[in-house]
Each structure stands twice: as structure tokens, then as C-alpha cells.
Chain A
Amino acid sequence: MFAMIPELLKVNLEQRVSTAITNREAAVDVMKELQRHYGWLTDEALEEASELLGLSTLQLEELATFYEMIYRRPVGRHVVHVCDSISCWAVGGETLLKSLAQLLEIAPGSTTADGAVTLLPCSCLGNCGEAPCMMIGERQYGRMSLEAGTQLITALRNS
């Protein structure tokens, strides 16, 4: 076990668990960190989390499958979330998502064949005043025109 994660990450995670009031409280943090390392929450990552937290993999699976931002399936190097909730919808969010899907030649919810980009529709990003909105990784982008969206995605594919 732990053959895959670097010692430093392991120490950090152990520290996070030791400062929690109960181990379980740290579960989401630990899974998010492991996901950051692997790109998605792999089966190995789940085993590692289970060992670090002293919880069964089933207890963790229950959580992992619940949250929007934890991926139990492989994702591309970049994950692009496009908000499809009401304020974005009102000012062209739907068209933005469609045109990015066309540009990437994939259906929303899937990953480009070269593994560069996963495109996901998502719930309100809490940035409704700057609709339409999207998020690449953890960075938010607002007032996305079709041109700006196209530029961002093209740059991303080539990076």
C-alpha cells in the first residue's frame, strides 16, 4: 500500500486526519487531495483513503458517488464545467455549452479522444451576476461570450 502516493502527500494527509475531531470529518478533504494527485478518484486512491481514515471503502464510496466534484471515472487533463442553471440559461448558457461541445466534437458529459478535455454541465457556480459562467479546474470565468469560450478551450487543448 501507498506505493503510489509520495511520502510528503501521505504525511500531509495523516496530519489532516490527526487534527480532525473524528477521522470521518476529514474524509472529503482526503479524497479531494488524492483526486488532485491522480486526476480522478481511482480504486487505489479509495483504498488509500480507506486506510488513512480507518473507514471501509463502502463508507467512502457512499460519499464519493454523492459529490459533484469527486470523479469516480477517469477525466481529461482539464475539466471544464459549464453552468446550466437559471441565471446563466437566461443569458445564453445553453448555447455556450452546445458550441463548446461542437468545438470539442464530444457530447456534454464526455472526454475528448486525446484525453485533454472533459466537458461537464453543472449546477449554479455562485457567480450568477457574471452569467454565463464556466469553471476550468478550480478557476471561475464569467461573462463568457462564444468567442471568449472558444478561445479558452482552443488554448486549453493545445496546452
Chain B
Amino acid sequence: MEQILLKHTRPGQCLTFDEYRSVAGFVALTNALTTMTPAEVQQSVIDSGLRGRGGAGFPTGKKWSFVPRDLPGPRYLICNCDEMEPGTYKDRVLLERNPHLLVEGMALACYALGVQHAFIFVRHGYEQAAENLRCSIAAAHLSGFLGSNILGSGFSLELGVHQSAGRYICGEETALINALEGKRANPRVKPPFPAIKGLWGQPTVVNNVETLANIPAIITGGPLWWKNTAATPEAAGTKLFCISGHVVNTDCFELPLGMTLGDIIDGPCGGMRPGSIFKVCIPGGASTQYLTGAHRDVPMDFDTVAKAGSRLGTGGIIVFDQTTCMVAVTLNLIRFFARESCGWCTPCREGLPFVQHTLERIESGRGEPQDIDILREHVHMLNYAFCALAPGAMGPVDGLLNHFEDELREHVSAQRCPFKGVHTC
């Protein structure tokens, strides 16, 4: 299997700048600056079929094409390394092993977009990742890959690292822009979209770490080669899948997009832990709908997972075994979202705690049949919230209703959790 992002890296070790140079590091940037126009770099990204790795899967080249080139004043690129979605830790692994890929990827993106000042927004707790980035940026400056008039091309670029102080909503792109400006991180109204009016009112692109880190390989290997590293003709590129839960190997793996869920679990994950039988998984971080045993043959790619009723999301796969109570799982997830709600709009601020209390009642054996209708109604109502946090939060509740209504009803009719006492934890 082709490795693009984790190639040349070892767990627990950071590739040095010189090592990166010796494995063709900054060749893509050098080639682009000497032989390609910014429009050609953008076209390569469009041709590659690269889709955003931050959760929504929006085509990257297309997003770039929304940025107007003729407005006065600066444009900005922000790399989103907020990564606070439970079950997701791929950006940390990547930056702890090879921060230089992101630095080179951002330089290429900035060249394509005409950006001279870009930022990397790093969550709290990622001290090592932030330190690696600062070192890589300093080394790139010394070697003339950052700063003014890079390699004599006339293109200049500064990269800044911003370390956050912890709040999930900062990952939402407009909230992130507020956070970076030093304002309370509530999301902004869209439109205007950040591509038109973003950081300090200027055109801004927000991309995930993994998205940007793929760009050097698209330039050196060519868009078609890059696209074909996927497992199916429809998919494009590889993906970092970060695994947690009841499987043998809970690690971050770079796998071809489009590999089936079953192959991922039986292959790199090493199957279930001894004594565990697969019950269900969350395919792409806390806000994605459950996939069950019936979904083992689903190719893990954006459209195919969407067709199965969920989302590829961040690629954070969380696996649960037969002893797991799905009401309890859903309750844990809803508690997270209710706590992380930024409080800006009423449906989310009031609705999520209400859903949490309803689930608490059911889990503790005090649920009533109409509670199930209340849950269903809220799945619908929370679509009217201001940003995507609330609908995302209801993904697991929707999944609970779709796939585990029996389990939910059993809690209510027996007036207790059928898993209590069976629970391993």
C-alpha cells in the first residue's frame, strides 16, 4: 500500500528537516516556483480530486477557486489544527512525525492562492506538534523556502503558529477566524463565506492539516498518480484513519481511501480484542452516525459512507463490542456536545442539555415511551441551529433511533439499562 503522508516516518520520532530534504522534501515547492504558474498549481489540485480531510470533504481545488483575485488587500490561508473531535488524533500524529510536509504544503497552497501571510491554528495540548512546526518554519526560513522572495521567484510568505486554549467550536471555520482575531469564538453568519470575507474581513481559505500535507505529493507525483493511490476508481488519494475502542491495534494508519470498513478492522486494526465481538462503530469522529455489522463492506470514502447513511468525517473510527450500551454511548457523546456548545443560539444551547437529560433519564431506568418521540423531534429541530455543531451532535442520536430503537425501548420497558453489570468498564 502506497504511503504518502507517513512515508519515511517512525512512530514517536520527528523527521528532521535535513532528513526531509534528503527524501525530496521541498522539491515540489522548488518545481512549482520555477516551472509552474499559481493557476497550474491550483489546476493540479483540482485534477487530483483532493477533498478536504477536516470533516466535510469539500473539494479543495474548488474551494480555492472561490477566492476572488482582484480584491485589494491581503488574502489569508489558515490551517485548521484544532482537532478536538473525540476519536480523532491524526493531525497530531502527522505533525509529531513530519511537520515539514505541512509547511511545504502550505507554501504551495499560498503560492496558488497569492497569500503572503498564513496561520496554523493549533489546539491546546498539542505542544509537541506546535514546537515541531516552529522548528520546521525556522529551518525553512534559513534554507530560503520561507520569507521574502523565495528562491528568487518574487513570491514571499510568512507562517505563524497560533496556540488555542481549548474549545471544540474553534474548529468550525468561522468561529476559528474569530478565535484567531482574538474574539470570542462564536461562528459567523454565512454568507459571506470566508473565501470572500474571512480573517480581518479579507478573503480567507481554511483547510485541514491533512488536506494541505497532501499537496507536495500531488505536485511531485502528478495529480493522476496521487488520485490512483486510492482503493477504488471513485476515491482519490490515501487517508489517515485513527482508530480507537475495542480493537487490537488502536493506532493511526495511512490507508487507501475506499478500503472497506471490514478490511480495515480485520487488517491493520488486527481485529477485535480477545473476547470482543464487533457490535458497531463510529466511522469518522463523534458527530458521525453509527455503522453496524451490516456495513462491513462499505468502502470508506466520502460518497460511499454518505450513501450508507453516515459520514467519512475525520476518519476517526471508534469501535465498540457486544458489551456496549448504545444509550450510554450516545449519552456520552451528547454530554460532550452540550458542554462544547458555544451558547450563541437557542436551539443548541437549550436543546442539547434537554436531549442529554432525556437520555440520562432513559439510561437510569426512568424513561417513558414518549421520550423516544422527544428524541426524534429534536433530531429534526436541531437542524435549525446556527452552525453545524448541533446537527452533528444529533448524528449519534439519529443513529441510535435508526439502528438501536429496540435497545432504547428495552431501557424504557424494563426501567433499567439491560447492560448494567455486563459492562466491562
Give chain A's interface residues, CB within 8 Å of chain B: 21-29, 31-32, 62-63, 66-70, 84-87, 89-95, 122-131, 135, 138, 140
Contact A90 to B125, CB < 8 A, known contacts A22-B181, A28-B165, A127-B89: no
Contact check: which of A62, A70, A87, A122 meets B244 at CB < 8 Å?
A87
Query: Which B residues touch A62, using CB under 8 A?
Result: 183-184
Stretch from B46-54, B331-339, B387-395 forming part of the interface with A: B331-339
Q: Please, which residue of chain B has its CB at the minimum distance from the CB of A81?
A: B125
Residue from A84, A123, A126 whose CB has the most chain B CB atoms within 10 Å: A126
Could you tell me if B168 and A24 are in contact, using CB atoms closer than 8 angstroms? no
Any A CB within 8 A of the CB of B371:
no
A114 smallest CB distance to B (angstroms): 27
Interface size class of B (residues with CB under 8 A): 35 or more
Tell whether A128 pairs with B166 under 8 Å between CB atoms, given A21-B200, A69-B124, A140-B125: no
**Closest CB of chain A to B210's CB: distance in Å?**
14
Return A71 CB to nearest CB of chain B, in Å.
Answer: 10
Q: Are B167 and A126 in contact (CB under 8 A)?
A: no
Question: A130 to B87, alpha carbons, bound, how many Å?
Answer: 11
Q: Across the interface, do B245 and A123 meet the contact criterion of CB distance under 8 Å?
A: no
B290, chain A: closest CB distance, angstroms: 12
Q: Which residue of A89, A90, A95, A128 contacts B242 across the interface (Cβ within 8 Å)? A: A128
The distance in angstroms between the C-alpha atoms of A125 and B424, with both chains bound, is 23
A126 and B123 contacting across the interface, CB-CB below 8 Å: yes
Residues of A within 8 A of B336 (CB): 85-86, 123-124
- Asked if B19 lies at the interface with its beta carbon under 8 angstroms from chain A, I say no
The interface stretch among B78-86, B98-106, B225-233, B254-262 is B78-86
A121 CB, nearest partner CB in chain B, Å: 9
Instruction: Contact check, B332 vs A89: say whether CB atoms are below 8 A apart.
Output: yes
Is B250's CB under 8 angstroms from A130's CB? yes
Contact B86 A128 (CB under 8 A): yes
Cα–Cα, bound, A94→B242 (Å): 22
Supply 14 A–B pairs (Cβ within 8 Å), ascending by A.
Answer: A24-B182, A62-B183, A62-B184, A66-B184, A66-B185, A67-B164, A84-B335, A86-B318, A86-B332, A90-B246, A124-B86, A126-B92, A128-B88, A138-B127
Cβ contacts under 8 Å, A84 to chain B: 332, 335
> By the criterion CB–CB under 8 Å, are A129 and B286 in contact?
no
Check B182–A127 contact: CB distance below 8 A.
no
B425 contacts A91, C-beta separation under 8 Å: yes
